[in-house]
Amino acid sequence: MAIGSKKSISNAINLSTSREYKLHAEKIILREFNLIKNNFIQSFYSHPVTKEIAAGPKASNISGTLGGQGNLFSFIGFPSNAKPLRPIELLFKKIFINSIKVQKDGSITNIINYPKAQDVFDVTPMPWADGLSWAQGIERGITNLGFFMSIKTDQSRSGEGLQAKNKVQKSTFNTRPYISSMIRDFELSIFRLNNMTL
């Protein structure tokens, strides 16, 4: 997705031809953009869901999504050697400023490329169900927690959990704000960047 905006600074001279002004504007915009991008990525890595999944099949349920029963890695059913966060990391590496253009009146148009929430959902499929995203499931809910047994077994993809044939617990999945919320916050920060005064 791309976001663009203009900021009127002066109509007195043609600032689009001023190399000094262009360099000044680019330096400020790039500095602020990198801060926003770094904060966004840091919010992803520091999120309890991300930390729990990154810890693998032996993690504790620090996200609170499962009521303390097992962990997300095993409940979702990732193979023990899987790297489920990797596709998201690759998407985030593609966040960049496409262009910074200075207009005659000094207004600045920034085009910033970044993934939408749906882009993340598209690269985070459930291991056992086509068309479903585990990242979206964090926000909307994932079924069958009542049938989940947190046990060490070779019959499990992760080695640390199984889905029973009959219900074994009353717990239900507790949703958490995740990717969608982070991207909304990122967009708000970009909007503020595009409306700052140099």
More confident residue, 104 or 59: 59
Residue 79 lies in a domain: yes
Q: Is the pLDDT of residue 23 over 80?
A: yes
Which segment of 133-137, 166-170, 172-176 scores lowest on mean pLDDT? 166-170
Confidence (pLDDT) at 171: 66
Structural domain count of the chain? 1
Asked whether residue 198 is domain-assigned, the answer is no
Q: Is the model more confident about 4 or about 111?
A: 111
Mean pLDDT, rounded, for 79-100: 92
Name the most confidently modeled range: 56-60, 117-121, 163-167.
117-121
Position 139 scores a pLDDT of: 96
User: How far apart, in whole angstroms, are the C-alpha atoms of residue 44 and residue 37?
Assistant: 11
66-70, 117-121, 132-136, 155-159: segment of lowest average pLDDT: 155-159
The whole-chain average pLDDT of the chain stands at: 80
Residue 91 has pLDDT above 60, yes or no: yes
Residue 61 lies inside a defined structural domain of this protein: yes
Strand partners, 99: 111
User: What are phi and psi for residue 146, nearest 5 degrees?
Assistant: -60, -20
Interval 3-11 mean pLDDT: 47
Please indicate, yes or no, if residue 151 is contained in any of the structural domains. yes
Q: Check: CB of residue 114 under 8 Å from CB of residue 186.
A: yes
d(CA 149, CA 104): 65
What pLDDT was estimated at residue 158? Answer: 45
Distant-in-sequence contacts of 184-192, Cβ < 8 A, 24+ apart: 185/40, 185/43, 186/36, 186/40, 186/114, 187/3, 189/36, 189/39, 189/40, 190/3, 190/33, 190/36, 190/110, 190/112, 190/114, 191/3, 191/5
Whole domain around residue 107: which residue ranges?
2-193
List b or e across 96-124, with b for residues whose CB sees 16 or more CB atoms inside 10 angstroms.
Answer: ebeebebeebbbbebebebbebebbbeeb
| 122 belongs to a structural domain | yes
Partners of 140 in the β-ladder? none
Q: How many CB atoms lie within 10 A of CB 83?
A: 12
- Which residues make beta-bridge pairs with 112? 3, 97
Question: Mean pLDDT over residues 114-118, rounded?
Answer: 96
pLDDT band at 189 (very low <50, low <70, confident <90, very high): very high
Q: What is the band of 173 on the pLDDT scale with cuts at 50, 70, 90?
A: confident
pLDDT of residue 98: 87
Q: What angle do CA 71, 72, 78 make, to 5 degrees?
A: 115
